[in-house]
Amino acid sequence: MSGFSAPHCGSLRASDEGRELELYGWVARRRDHGGLIFIDLRDRWGTVQVVFNPAHAPQAHTTASDLRSEFVVRVEGKVARRRPGAENPRMPTGEVEVAASDLEVISVAKTPPFAIEDDVEADEALRLKYRYLDIRRPKMTQNLELRHRVVQTIHRYMDAHEFMEVETPMLLKGTPEGSRDFIVPSRLHPGEFFALPQSPQQLKQLLMVAGIGRYYQIARCLRDEDLRADRVVEITQLDVEMSFCTEEDVFALIEGLWATVWKDVLGIEIPTPFQRIDMQEALLRYGTDKPDLRYELEIADVSDALRGSGATVFRSALDAGGVVRCLAVPGGKDMSRRELDELALLAKGAGAKGLAWIPGPLDRHISEGEMSAIRAAARAGADDIVLLVADRRRKAETVMGLLRREIARRRKLVRHGEWKFAWIYPMYLFEEDDQGNLTYGHHPFTSPWPEDMDLLGERPYDVRARAYDCVANGLRDPRHEPGEDSIPVRTPARRVRVRRAAARWNRGRHRPADDGDHRHREHPGRGRVSEDPEPPGPDAGRAEPGRPQAARRASHSRGPGQETRVVVLRRSQWAAGDVRVAQQFIIGTPESARSTKSPQ
C-alpha cells in the first residue's frame, strides 16, 4: 500500500477496530512510559495515537525510542479500542489507537523553532520564516481547507446560474484605479513596463462588450499601498460582471450565493432576502455604513430638542450647522468615572471635541424637558446612561459609530455565533468629506437614480445612487466584504452633468447644473480638459508621434516642477448602453517615472 492510498490518521473510528493498515504522517508528540511508547501521529486530516509494545513488536519499539517531534514516519499496525478510562473525548479518534507492528523513519527533523500547535505564541516574523511549519498547525490547515470548500461551492453555484469563469491576464497596461500599480519591467522593450492588475475591471467590461453576459473569476488583485491592519498588497476576490441586469438581479444572485456557501460549508441557514438599510439611516442609527446588527445599540439625533439648550457645547455646535447625537448604554449607571473618561479619550482620538453624558456634569445646564427628550430619543431605561456628541454631522457619525462598537465590546453585547447580513441600499451619489466638501460617495461612474437628477444643483446630498454594499456582522471593507458594486452611468451627457454639479457645489455656486454646450473647463494647475460629450473619432486611441497616447485630446500647461494631470474621456460600447472610460496621464514631473507604459 502506498502513502497516497493509505487511510488518513484522522479518519479512524471505533468501527475500524481490528483493521490492519499503514499510516503515514508526522510525529506530533512522543511519550515514553517506561515500557510502552506512545506517539500522536498527525496528517492533514487529524491525529491518532500509536502505541509501541516491546512484547509484541520489539524492533518497532526500539526504533520508536529515537523518535522526536516532526519526524516523518510510516507505521504498520492494527486498530484497537483503548482500554476503559483511557479514551480521549477531545480527539475525534479518541476511542481507538493503533498497535504498531512495524515502524519506518522516512525523514528525521531538527527541533522546530516553535511548537506545532494552535496555541503557539511565536513571533509572526518567525512563523513566516518557517511558513511550512506554521501551515502544519491544525488551525492553519483548517483555514486552507475552509477556503477550498468555499471556492468549490462558489464554482458550483455560479455554474448553475450560467456564469462563465474566465481567467484574465496578469500583465496589463496601467490604468488609474484606487491605489498604485505594481510594475514589471519588460525585457523585450527596455524602459517600458507592464502593470499588475488592481482588479480585472476593464477586462471584464471587455467581456461584457464581447457578449459573454455573465462572467465570474476568483481573481487575484495587487495594489501597492501601505500595510495596515486591514490592508495588504495582494488579495483574492470573487469578481462578477453581468449584462442587462438591475439591482434586484444582483441582490438575488448574491443572497443565494452566500446562503448556499454558509449552508454547504458551515451548515448554517442564512435567511433571505437580506435586510435593506438606507445609507443615511445606517449612518444615523449605527454611525457607520457597515453596521454590526448582532446587538441593538442605536444612535439617535437630538439636534432639534437641544437648539435652545443652555449647554453651550450643544448650542454652539448646532449654530455652526452641526448635529447632536446620543446613545444609551444599557445598565450604564454602574460605569465608573474612569470608564467614562476612557470613552471620552477614545472620542477625542477620533476627532471629537469631547464627550458628554447624562446623568453627568451637564445636568444643571439641561432643562427637564430636554432631559426627557434625550432619554426618549435614546430609548434609555432607568439604569442607563446616555452618551452625547456634538459636532459636524460627518464627525459625529464617525465618533458615535466608534463608541457604539466599543461599548458593545466592553459590555459583551455581541451575540457571537449569529450571522447578520444586510444590504446598504440605496446609497447616495455624494457625501461630505472630513473638510466639509462634497465628494463622491462610491465612485464617479455610479449612476444616479433618474428621478433624483433634478436635485443635483440644490440638494446634491439627497441624490440617490444605484450602488449597494453587502455587509455581514459589521464587515464591509474591500478586503473582506461580502459584496459591493454599482450600476454605471451609461450616457456621457449625464456623467458630465453629475461632474459639473459636484464642481459647482464645491465652488459655492448653488444653482442647478445644466447640459449646456460648454465644451471645456479650466482646472487650476491641470490645464484645459476636454468635456466633449460626443464620441471620439475612429483615430482617438492612436498616439501622435512623440506624444503620449490620447494626450492630443487635451491641451495642458505647467510651470517648472508642476505636475499636470490630463484626464481623457473615451467612449466604449457597453453591453447595455454607452459608457465612458476615463484615463489619466501624469506628464512632465519626476513622478511620471511611476506611471506605466505597456509594450505596443
Tens-digit pLDDT string for the chain (600 aa): 688 889 999 999 999 999 999 999 999 999 998 889 999 999 999 999 999 999 999 999 999 999 999 999 999 999 999 999 999 999 999 999 999 999 999 999 999 999 999 988 899 999 999 999 999 999 999 999 999 999 999 999 999 999 999 999 999 888 777 788 999 999 999 999 999 999 998 899 999 999 999 999 999 999 998 887 777 899 999 999 999 999 999 999 999 999 999 999 999 999 999 999 999 999 999 999 999 999 999 999 999 999 988 899 999 999 999 999 999 999 999 999 999 999 999 999 999 999 999 999 999 999 999 999 999 999 999 999 999 999 999 899 999 999 999 999 999 999 999 999 999 999 999 988 877 788 888 778 888 998 999 998 888 989 999 999 999 999 864 445 565 668 888 788 888 888 888 888 888 744 444 443 333 333 333 333 333 333 444 444 343 334 333 333 333 333 333 333 333 333 333 333 333 333 333 333 333 333 344 443
Query: With b meaning 16 or more CB within 10 Å and e meaning fewer, what string describes 473-510?
Result: bbebeeeeebbbbbbbbeebebbbbbbbbbebbeeeee
Q: At what angle do helices 393-410 and 337-349 cross, to 10 degrees?
A: 140
> What is the pTM (predicted TM-score) of this model?
0.78
In whole angstroms, what is the distance from residue 46 CA to residue 138 CA?
8
Helix (H), strand (E) counts: the chain: 12, 26
367 contacts 310 by C-beta, under 8 angstroms? yes
Domain boundaries, the chain: 9-107, 141-266, 295-414, 517-600
Q: Where are the beta strands (DSSP E) in 212-366?
A: 214-222, 234-242, 275-277, 299-301, 323-329, 356-358
CATH number of 9-107: 2.40.50.140
In whole angstroms, what is the distance from residue 313 CA to residue 304 CA?
15
Specify burial of residue 21 (Cβ count, 10 A radius: 0-12, 13-18, 19+).
middle
Position of cell 506517539?
Answer: 39
CATH number of 295-414: 3.30.1360.30
Cell of 116: 506545532
| Collapsed DSSP state (helix, strand, coil) of residue 518 | coil
Q: At what angle do helices 138-160 and 247-261 cross, to 10 degrees?
A: 140
Distances (CA, A) of 96 to 19, 434, 530, 576: 11, 63, 77, 63
Other Cβ atoms less than 10 A from the Cβ of 472: the count is: 21
Distances (CA, A) of 100 to 7, 107, 254, 534: 15, 18, 51, 81
Distances (CA, A) of 557 to 341, 424, 552, 568, 589: 54, 43, 13, 15, 13
**141-266 carries CATH number 3.30.930.10:** yes
333 contacts 383 by C-beta, under 8 angstroms? yes
387 contacts 403 by C-beta, under 8 angstroms? yes
565 contacts 578 by C-beta, under 8 angstroms? no
The answer to whether 9-107 and 141-266 have equal CATH topology is no
